[in-house]
Amino acid sequence: MSNIENPNMEEVFAEGPRKDFVIEFHQGVNEQLLKEKQQERRKNLELSSENKVLNRRIAETEEKADHDALTGLLNREGFEKVLVEIRKTGRSGALLMIDIDKFKDMNDTYGHPIGDLVLKAVARRLQAMCRELDMVVRWGGEEFILFFPNTTAEEVLRKFTPEGQQGNAAINIKFKRSDSNMPTPEIEISFSGGVTDLGVDEKLDDAMARVDKALYHVKETGRNRLEMTGKGPATP
């Protein structure tokens, strides 16, 4: 086969207009590729930024979902999540359930805005009485749960009752509201509660049943005190 039929491409494009065409063609291709890469990079950056915003919003939503909107305390769902992680470390602890005495009467007498302020004041008071590693939870309504890692029920009882075991609760609050647009009562807030040990391998529902029963007994026999209840049989 002759060189005319099968020319050497390097010789054909070595000089002249064809060489200029090839150079210009390659420059155009390179510029187009560079532009496409830049566009893809910008798109990826935008997606990355959107993902960061989305992930942050999801995290914020999850955090809000785990906290009580009124008091800022952990709610039931948030407590159960955190407790699972704590118990993975092998920590036992003490569980305290308290209930604000005659809270319904406060709402009926002074209105729900005062009731909300009372709940906020109680939340602050409980947090002030606890260590950083303790958990304070708004369980629902006027009920609060406190969990004390590496602590016994007896130690909690001594901390929260001035006379020790079965004594009057030491969480009492005098609440004042000075606002010309609302009633200005001085409210004595007292609490009833039950406290028990929570073992690492024990079901939370079992411990909750015990403190709930103790709380109910306190309500039925005078209020304004805490009652310790023993741990039930070990979970198999």
CA R_g for the chain: 34
Tell me if residue 142 is catalytic.
yes
Q: Which residue among the candidates 77, 80, 142, 154 is catalytic per the annotation?
A: 142
CB atoms within 10 A of CB 10: 7
Task: Report the alpha-carbon distance of residue 93 to residue 197 in Å, rounded.
Answer: 6
- Collapsing DSSP to helix, strand or coil, 117 comes out as helix
Task: Report the alpha-carbon distance of residue 134 to residue 82 in Å, rounded.
Answer: 11
Task: Describe the strand order of the beta sheet including 191-198 as a list of residue ranges.
Answer: 135-140, 143-149, 93-100, 191-198, 226-228
Copy the structure tokens of residue 94: 């003490």
Alpha-carbon distances of 173 from 100, 124, 143, rounded to whole Å: 11, 11, 16
Task: Report the alpha-carbon distance of residue 90 to residue 150 in Å, rounded.
Answer: 10
Report which of 121, 155, 131, 140 is spatially closest to residue 208, judged by C-alpha positions.
140
- Collapsing DSSP to helix, strand or coil, 176 comes out as strand
CA-CA-CA-CA torsion for 50, 54, 59, 60, nearest 10 degrees? 100
Positions marked catalytic: 142
